[in-house]
């Protein structure tokens, strides 16, 4: 059996979360039961004239009905077009793609750091940890954005019962400032017992990567890159490795240990 499938799926629901964010439910995806946190699907967006597929992290999945969910922000031609789709429209997807996160050790406190549209894989990772026996309250979830508008679906993450810390750059919601501020405090407080997981904008990841390396904190982050193929055959999504050479974000990643990739 193929590990990765190319399938036509239907949009079963599209929710406008306002301020440019949308949530999309699609089904049936034959590999829904196999999805691991951090993995993504490569989506063919119908009728917008963009040639490549677009990559979106899997936000949630339902093994029972074979559905998956993505959360996206409108940033360009492709996402603008995706936002105009309606229930019943067909999408082509390739997936599940990419690797996944390493599970924390029992004694470690997992700290999940989500910035903007880096939220979906962090959410799914939290869900996964809880399913695998981690108590919600033992998970620290940092969720930051530029303004209130970037913090979407908060109610959903609250339901997991994680220790939630929200930040906005302009202070319009949660703590004011960079997400790395509370992170620094957490690292200092629980020295040696945390494992970090991060996904978000490049600047945030650079800061977290530096923090993690400087403080010798283990963990991983999920990267982005423009992806022509998503399956590892075009060599277009490469990023330089610290040890030299390039890594394909779509297949060798998107999840990397801190310090592994030159940001």
Partner 1 sequence: MSIDLSVNIAGVEFKNPILTASGTCGYGEELADLFSLSRLGGIVTKSITVKPRLGHPPPRTAETESGMLNAIGLANVGVDEFIEKKLPFLEKFDTVVVVNVAGAKIQEYVEICTRLADCPRADMVELNFSCPNVEEGMGIATSAVLAERAVAEVKKVFGGPVIAKLSPNVTDIAEIAQACESGGADAVSLINTLVGMAVDIETFRPRLTNNTGGLSGPAIKPVALAMVHKVYQAVKIPIVGIGGIATADDVIEFLLCGAAAIEIGTALFVEPDTPVKIARDLKKYLSKNKFDSVKQLIGQLRIYS
> Binding residues for ligand FES, per CB under 6 A?
227-230, 232-237, 248, 250-251
Q: By CB under 8 A, what part of segment 22-51 binds a copy of itself?
A: 46-49
User: Taking contact as CB under 6 A, which single stretch among the options 74-82, 83-91, 146-154, 187-195 is the one that binds ligand FAD?
Assistant: 74-82
Judge whether 97 and 231 are in contact, CB under 8 Å. Answer: yes
Long-range contacts formed by 103-106: CB under 8 A, 24+ apart: 103/129, 103/132, 104/129, 104/134, 104/195, 105/195
- Count of positions on this chain that bind partner 1 (CB under 8 A): 32
**C-beta separation of 59 from 71 below 8 A:** yes
**Residues in contact with a copy of itself, shown as a per-residue x/- string from 86 to 125 under the rule CB under 8 A:** x---------------------------------------
Number of residues that bind a copy of itself (CB under 8 A): 6
Candidates 171, 192, 203, 226: give the one binding partner 1 (CB under 8 A). Answer: 226
Cβ-based neighbour number of residue 174 at 10 Å = 20
| Placement of tokens 């691991």 in the chain | 36
Rounded to 5 degrees, what are φ and ψ at 158? -55, -40
20 contact choice in partner 1, ligand FES, ligand FAD, none (CB below 5 to 8 Å, kind-dependent): none
Q: Measured in whole angstroms, how far is the alpha carbon of residue 127 from the centre of its chain?
A: 13
Binding mask 19-58 for partner 1 (x = CB under 8 A): -------------------------x----xxxxx-----
Minimum Å distance from CB 231 to ligand FES? 7
Cβ closer to ligand FES: 54 or 195? 54
């Amino acid at each position: 059996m193929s590990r990765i499938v190319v399938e036509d799926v239907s949009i079963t629901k599209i929710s406008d979360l306002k301020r440019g964010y949308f949530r999309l439910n699609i089904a049936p995806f034959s590999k829904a039961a196999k999805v691991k946190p951090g993995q993504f699907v490569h989506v063919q967006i119908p009728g917008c004239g963009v040639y490549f597929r677009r990559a979106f992290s899997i936000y949630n999945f339902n093994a029972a009905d074979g559905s998956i969910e993505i959360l996206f922000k409108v940033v360009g031609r492709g996402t603008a077009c995706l936002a105009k789709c309606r229930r019943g429209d067909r999408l082509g997807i390739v997936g599940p793609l990419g690797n996944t996160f390493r599970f924390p050790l029992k004694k470690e406190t997992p700290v999940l750091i989500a910035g903007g549209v880096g939220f979906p894989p962090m959410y799914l990772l939290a869900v996964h940890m809880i399913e695998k026996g981690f108590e919600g309250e033992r998970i620290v979830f940092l969720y930051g954005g530029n303004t209130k508008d970037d913090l979407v679906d908060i109610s959903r993450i609250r339901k997991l019962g994680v220790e939630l810390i929200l930040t906005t750059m302009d202070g319009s919601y949660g703590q004011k400032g960079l997400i790395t501020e509370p992170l620094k405090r957490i690292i200092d407080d629980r020295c040696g017992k945390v494992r970090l997981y991060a996904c978000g904008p490049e600047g945030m990841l650079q800061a977290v990567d530096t923090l993690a390396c400087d403080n010798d904190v283990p963990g991983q982050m999920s990267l982005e890159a423009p992806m022509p193929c998503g399956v590892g055959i075009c060599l277009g999504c490469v990023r330089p490795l610290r040890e030299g050479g390039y890594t394909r974000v779509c297949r060798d990643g998107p999840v990397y240990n801190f310090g592994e990739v030159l940001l």
